[in-house]
């Protein structure tokens, strides 16, 4: 075998060659140990972004990233494990009602989640708005919670030893313009989900202005790559393509989204959040091989019982009042007509500027900040009617948040009211 070196791996991929298994194993291992530098890995990521990777290369790349750390194992649990991953959107609080609902149906849900990324909100930031709730759990405690039939779901931060190659590579891609590569996104997401030890996985691949994938074709390509990686690793994986052209539900922002999720668990909440929660729950229950109806577990209060137990198990007080921002300002319709566009990206940027997301890595977020939505895309609105309420502790942010929203709102006097299609497709192995 010829000696392996970073420069020939980079130039080979740059010139359109396929990487061998040995090259992939070597370069991921050397990058994790620090003997391949950030500049070389960034060059390779750019070459991959342009030249792509085959299914074999992507599978090997994913396996090498898993092997860079520890792989968790929950096969000894009495209940089947199943998890969900969303590629990220605006107002996407679905994990909050979904995890306890699926646990109430008899599954164990071991969810390792992240914080906000760019304009998209993070599940851990949302849950941390609950007084006392903690994201860091030891694996032994995670296992105890998953084994407890009264809880069965855990949402926590991934430890430093879970796919450490991805942690370094993701941070590098973020600052080198190399995020938008389908094989790199697919291997990044799936390496963490496979290492997490779930037996089955349901992916919610977002499509539209507020998603990483703007077109249905690119979302389908990403979904297919992830479903194939799941199948190759023995994780039963199915993906739904769902709309992210406009925010999900009526809130975007940490505590605002927790409150809306609790409304869903109490039997109310916006129709789109309820529909997506139940659709994903049915997929998860089926993938876990269970025979239970999530609609019943939601209606009879079992999902709410699991939510309360899950929050308590991580130090939170489910009855405590949630933080509220000190200042609010409304955005009103300028004319009569149909709200033809309430753009997810514009709302996501406004929410981040109001303080609910981060401008720099590691910054604290404002738990009460965000946007409440009073009229949704497709609704008829009258001039002067309230469309949105902005919430923040830093009122100087209202001007820049309003500017972002102004670019994302269209009211058309001549348009007809429309219905939205939430689930756009399904991809299975």
Q: Give the nearest distance from C-beta 49 to ligand URA in angstroms.
A: 11
Strand order in the sheet with 82-86: 82-86, 200-207, 236-243, 423-428
Q: Give the nearest distance from C-beta 28 to ligand URA in angstroms.
A: 15
Distance, first Cα to last Cα, the chain? 35
- In the annotation, is 232 catalytic? no
With CA atoms as reference, report the closest residue to 211 among 238, 239, 236, 248. Answer: 248
Q: Which of 79, 84, 173, 391 is catalytic?
A: 173
By beta-carbon distance, which residue lies closest to ligand URA? Answer: 188
Confirm if 391 and 372 have CB atoms less than 8 A apart: yes
Q: Give the nearest distance from C-beta 37 to ligand URA in angstroms.
A: 20
- In the annotation, is 126 catalytic? no
Instruction: Report the length, in residues, of the chain.
Output: 429
CA atoms of 70 and 75, how far apart (whole Å): 15
- In the annotation, is 85 catalytic? yes
Q: Which of 166, 204, 272, 343 is catalytic?
A: 166
Nearer to ligand URA, 214 or 312 (CB): 214
Nearer to ligand URA, 117 or 415 (CB): 117
Nearer to ligand URA, 190 or 331 (CB): 190
Q: Give the nearest distance from C-beta 163 to ligand URA in angstroms.
A: 9
**How many Cβ atoms sit within 10 Å of the Cβ of residue 429?**
12
The string over 273-305, giving b where at least 16 C-beta atoms fall within 10 Å of a residue's C-beta and e elsewhere, is: bbebbbbbbbbbbbbbebebebeebbeeebbbb
Nearer to ligand URA, 172 or 179 (CB): 179
Confirm if 282 and 298 have CB atoms less than 8 A apart: no
Nearer to ligand URA, 48 or 145 (CB): 48
Confirm if 388 and 247 have CB atoms less than 8 A apart: no
CA atoms of 252 and 383, how far apart (whole Å): 24
Q: Which two tokens stand for residue 298?
A: 């939601």
- In the annotation, is 173 catalytic? yes
Q: Give the nearest distance from C-beta 209 to ligand URA in angstroms.
A: 17
Nearer to ligand URA, 112 or 351 (CB): 112
Q: Which of 79, 93, 143, 192 is catalytic?
A: 192
Q: Give the nearest distance from C-beta 88 to ligand URA in angstroms.
A: 6
CA atoms of 237 and 62, how far apart (whole Å): 15
Q: Which two tokens stand for residue 105?
A: 């149906």
Q: Give the nearest distance from C-beta 103 to ligand URA in angstroms.
A: 23
Residues that bind ligand URA (CB under 6 A): 170, 179, 184-185, 188-189
Nearer to ligand URA, 96 or 162 (CB): 162
CA gyration radius, the chain:
22
CA atoms of 7 and 17, how far apart (whole Å): 14
Q: Which of 113, 188, 209, 233 is catalytic?
A: 188
Instruction: Tell me the catalytic residues.
Output: 85, 166, 173, 188, 192
């Amino acid at each position: 075998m010829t000696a392996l070196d970073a420069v020939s791996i980079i130039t080979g991929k740059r010139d359109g060659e396929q990487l061998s298994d040995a090259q992939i194993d070597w370069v991921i291992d050397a990058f994790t140990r620090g003997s391949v530098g950030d500049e070389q890995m960034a060059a390779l990521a750019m070459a991959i972004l342009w030249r792509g990777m085959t299914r074999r290369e992507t599978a090997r790349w994913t396996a090498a990233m898993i092997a860079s750390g520890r792989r968790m194992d929950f096969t000894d649990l009495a209940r089947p494990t199943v998890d969900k991953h969303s590629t990220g959107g605006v107002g996407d609080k679905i994990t909050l009602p979904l995890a306890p609902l699926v646990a109430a149906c008899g599954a164990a849900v071991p969810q390792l989640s992240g914080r906000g990324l760019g304009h998209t909100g993070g599940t851990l930031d949302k849950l941390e708005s609950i007084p006392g709730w903690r994201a860091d759990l030891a694996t032994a405690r995670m296992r105890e919670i998953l084994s407890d039939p009264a809880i069965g779901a855990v949402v926590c931060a991934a430890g430093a030893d879970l796919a450490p190659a991805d942690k370094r590579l993701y941070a590098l891609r973020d600052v080198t313009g190399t995020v938008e590569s389908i094989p790199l996104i697919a291997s990044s997401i799936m390496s963490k989900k496979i290492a997490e030890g779930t037996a089955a996985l349901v992916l919610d691949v977002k499509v539209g202005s507020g998603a990483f994938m703007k077109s249905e074709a690119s979302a389908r390509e990403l979904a297919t790559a992830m479903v194939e990686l799941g199948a190759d690793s023995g994780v039963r994986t199915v993906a739904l393509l769902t709309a992210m052209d406009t925010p999900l539900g009526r809130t975007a922002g940490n505590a605002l989204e927790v409150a809306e999720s609790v409304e869903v668990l109490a039997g109310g909440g916006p129709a789109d959040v309820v529909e997506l929660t139940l659709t994903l729950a049915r997929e998860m229950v089926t993938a876990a091989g269970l025979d239970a109806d999530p609609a019943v577990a939601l209606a009879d209060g079992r999902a709410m019982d699991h939510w309360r137990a899950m929050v308590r198990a991580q130090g939170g007080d489910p009855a405590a009042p949630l933080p509220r921002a000190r200042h609010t300002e409304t955005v009103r319709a300028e004319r009569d007509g149909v709200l033809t566009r309430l753009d997810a990206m514009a709302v996501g940027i406004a929410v981040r500027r109001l303080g609910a997301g981060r401008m720099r890595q590691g910054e604290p977020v404002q738990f009460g900040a965000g946007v409440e939505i009073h009229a949704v895309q497709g609704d008829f609105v009258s001039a002067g009617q309230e469309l949105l309420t902005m919430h923040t502790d830093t009122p100087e942010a209202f001007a820049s948040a309003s500017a972002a929203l102004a670019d994302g709102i269209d009211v058309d006097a001549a348009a007809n009211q429309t219905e939205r299609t939430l689930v756009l497709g399904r991809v299975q192995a």
